[in-house]
Structure 1
Amino acid sequence: MPIGASVTFGVGSTTGNSYRKNLQDLMNANNMTIDYVGTRNHGNFNNNAVEATSGFVISQIAAAAHAAVPIFLPNLVLIDAGTNNCNSGGTVPDAGANITNIINDVFAQSPGSTVILATILVNSDAKQDACRVDENRQIATLTGSMQAAGKKLVLVDMRGPDGPLVSDLADGRHPNDAGYVKMANVFFRGIEEVVSKHILSPPLNTIFTSKTVGDS
């Protein structure tokens, strides 16, 4: 289940696919099968379900996820939350705590699930970008705490050397097609990490399968 706002939905993409179709292609090429789930559909490919709404801030993403997760019972959840909280710059001191609540709610409502959490993309506006950098510090802190507590959580860095650059943004905020390809590659490495650590449980509703799951 891809959870987020406009980036996850696919704004800036010429197809509306976001990173999701590219990620599916990477998984298929590596003998993995994915079935996206969510209450919405967007993109020009068949497997285009998503749980994302443009403009949503963390609290709205949390409410949407709270309603959708028990319906679909995903075993793998991809979360990108917090971008719109920074649209006015400043800081969002409770971002980490609120994203932690989303993750814990996913774990509670879909037992055995695993979460891949993304850091927040670059932004061409200096004030918004500074806010996102601060949110990413909070995301790194919450990830360390939750992993130390044994939670099935993997962090992927969208601001790493191979993540989207400002030049990969369609409008200064949302990735263009090349930027979404980069996002897919980063998310795929997160999936590889999940599989290598053997922290992906079989889906409760048979919504995500891979021949590598359960391999020793």
Structure 2
Amino acid sequence: MESPRSTDTRSQKSRASDGLLRLMPLGGSITRGVGSSHGAGYRKPLLELLKDQGINSCMVGSRKDGSIPNNEHEGWRGFRIDEIQKKAKKSVKFLSPDILMVNAGSNDCIQSFNTAEAGRRMGEMLDYLWLACPQSTILLSTLIPNMDRQVDLVVMDLNDQFRALAEKKNIGQKKILLIDMHSSEGPGAHELVDGIHPNDEGYEKMAELWFRGIQETIEKGFIDR
């Protein structure tokens, strides 16, 4: 009987030859698309950008949200980093994404959940993702701003932890890129519908930043295409 491992390896090679890039959006309610008019958040404009550039891609995940044909994702509203990792353990290995787009930690800030250790929790999740899917590249996002000033201060602290984590993983020669959403190019406070989630314009900015990260991933040769 053929082993699952050999089947997985052959399917990965087949996808590579077909040029199909498998993307997994992983995170909380922003990943799900809460606040967008179409319910798909950044996923809709990102797929459009990829298609316009001739990049054959699809989203994968155990959940479906949004009025678009390819609406799969792994976004869990209200979930913290540790809770998102538990969900990832049920899907990442089997869906075998080429790129994981990780935007997680906003709920750790909102819930004031041991935020000083958020970087460690994120590191543990990234290590699991690479263990489950060794060929994958991780695009690690900083968190977008929050309209609550006190929460946003915590957001900025987590972002510093994530930047340090990405640098550490880079030194360890892991396939990771940091995507800075808490910047002049990311969603601004005026583009948040409820102080937490972006509107359509904010999600379009996120899509553009994810898109640049995917382009860089391809340019660096991280993807076997």
Aligned residue in 2 for 1:34: 57
- 2:217 corresponds to 1:194: yes
Instruction: Please say if residues 89 and 130 of structure 1, whose CA atoms lie closer than 8 Å, have aligned partners that are also in contact.
Output: no
Displacement of 1:88 in angstroms is 4.2
Aligned position for 2:161: 138
Q: TM-score by structure 2 length? A: 0.87
Partner of 2:194: 171
* Residue in 2 that maps onto 1:205: none
The two structures have a TM-score, normalised by structure 1, of 0.91
What's the offset of the Cα at 1:101?
1.1
Deviations 1:174-213 (A, max 9, x none): 0000000000001011111111111123xxxxxxxxxxx3
One-letter amino acid matched to 1:159: H
Q: What corresponds to 2:9 in structure 1?
A: none
Alpha-carbon shift at residue 87 of structure 1 (Å): 0.8
Q: Once superposed, what is the RMSD of the aligned Cα atoms?
A: 1.1
Aligned to 1:184: 207
Give the alignment of 1:22-61 within 5 angstroms. 22-61=45-84
Counterpart CA distance in 1 for 2:49 and 2:113 is 37
Is it true that 1:111 corresponds to 2:134 in the alignment? yes
Q: Relative CO higher for 1 or 2, CA cutoff 8 Å, sep ≥ 6?
A: 1
Instruction: Tell me the equivalent position of 1:96.
Output: 119
Instruction: Find out whether 1:157 has 2:173 as its counterpart.
Output: no
The 4+ residue runs of structure 1 with deviation greater than 4 A are 88-91
8 Å Cα contact 1:3-1:79 kept in structure 2: yes
Distance in 2 (alpha carbons) for counterparts of 1:81 and 1:90: 13
Identity %: 36
Alignment correspondent of 1:76: 99
Q: Which has the larger radius of gyration?
A: 2
Contiguous gaps of at least 5 residues in structure 2? 1-23
Normalized per residue, which structure has more helix?
2
**How many residues get paired?**
202
C-alpha separation in 2, matches of 1:88 and 1:40: 24
- Offset of 1:75 from its aligned partner? 1.2
The offset of 1:89, in angstroms, is 5.1
Query: d(CA) in 2 for partners of 1:91 and 1:74?
Result: 30
Query: Matched residues in 1 for 2:42 and 2:151: separation?
Result: 22
> What SS is found at the alignment partner of 1:199?
coil
Retained in 2: the 8 A contact 1:83–1:132?
yes
Unaligned runs of 5+ in 1: 202-212
> Which has the larger displacement, 140-149 or 83-92?
83-92
- Rounded to whole Å, the distance in 2 between the matches of 1:3 and 1:151 is 18
Residue-by-residue CA offset, 1:59-91 (whole Å, 9 max, x unaligned): 111101111101201111100010001114586
Q: Give the partner amino acid of 1:121.
A: I
Among 70, 87, 90, the residue aligned to 1:67: 90
